[in-house]
Amino acid sequence: MEKVIVTRKIPQPFIDQLELFADVEVWNESYTPMPREKFLEALNDATACFITLSETIDEEVIAHAPKLKVIANMAVGFDNIDVQLVRSKGIVATNTPEVLTETTAELGFTLMLTVARRIIEAEQYVQNGEWQSWGPYLLAGKDLYNAKVGIFGMGDIGKAFARRLKGFNVNIMYHNRSRQVEAEESLGALYVSFDTLLEHSDFVVCTAPLTEETRDKFNEAAFKKMKNDAIFINIGRGAVVDETALVAALQDGEIAACGLDVLRKEPIDMSHPLLSMKNALVLPHIGSASVITRNRMIQLCIDNIRLVLSGKDAKTPIK
């Protein structure tokens, strides 16, 4: 009999699907991951595991999983998996591309507008009883209309984000490891160097995955090149940003504000300086957090597990 480890609580109908062909062990805490020690123990006789970004798949995990055939990662990014190691052991690793593209782009767009128009500050201003009268520059923000927006990472999410800009008469620039001619033609996006993107953008939006090339890409030098009134948005991966440099840039006025849905360490430490800054908005990694999208992600993970355990090819193997 196959055995599947599910490291997060998911709705019962999905568990019912897995139980049609496997024994299932589920960690049933709603908002906390399965402890590492318990995960390692559970893997001893597991043939499949359903994981999230909270689980790191490394040599220790593989050593505890002699029967493992498939790892289903409930995410597009897979920097939490040592893919080369997993492949060398004949284990199939899968992810969940495409199904979360539009939802993540939508969240990123919401985050950008929220920061630009200082929505959280304004709501707190009212709640705190500070609103006494109208003022010419009271909580004045930044226009998106007619602005220059630079997108770092023109993959599926970057393209979906760019499509949402079309109604704002925005000039779109992008930087990517390879040119996306189709995006240039359909979206009017201009391919530029990374430095040009930083120097000329009113909004800089990071949608890039974490690779050795992108790690710490937004560092002290990068923030110094940005406009002093620029807004930085990150919906890619936390480690793409040097957070110490970001805090300094916000404090010193190198940039105006930031909105982050991803951090280097998640959850963020409550003593982190970003949390005490009015010009920094931090979200708890909710880019794909709509009910429909999360259901689709879970279903894709289950489909991948079922296919591999039945000797077939996964729908979305990590390549």
**Residue 229 near residue 258 (C-beta atoms within 8 A):** no
Single out the catalytic residue among 8, 175, 237, 306. Answer: 237
User: Is 264 among the residues known to form the active site?
Assistant: no
User: Is 8 among the residues known to form the active site?
Assistant: no
- Half-sphere exposure of residue 319, counting CA atoms within 13 Å on the CB side? 5
CA angle 250, 256, 257 (to 5 degrees): 75
**Residue 96 near residue 76 (C-beta atoms within 8 A):** yes
In sequence order, what E strands does the chain have?
2-6, 22-26, 48-51, 70-73, 92-94, 148-152, 171-175, 190-191, 203-206, 231-234, 257-260, 280-282
**Residue 49 near residue 92 (C-beta atoms within 8 A):** no
Q: How far is CA 204 from the centre of its chain?
A: 16
Which helix or strand (DSSP H or E) is residue 255 part of?
none
User: Is 64 among the residues known to form the active site?
Assistant: no
Single out the catalytic residue among 8, 285, 294, 306. Answer: 285
The answer to whether the Cα torsion of 239, 240, 245, 247 is positive or negative is negative
The residues annotated as belonging to the active site are 237, 266, 285
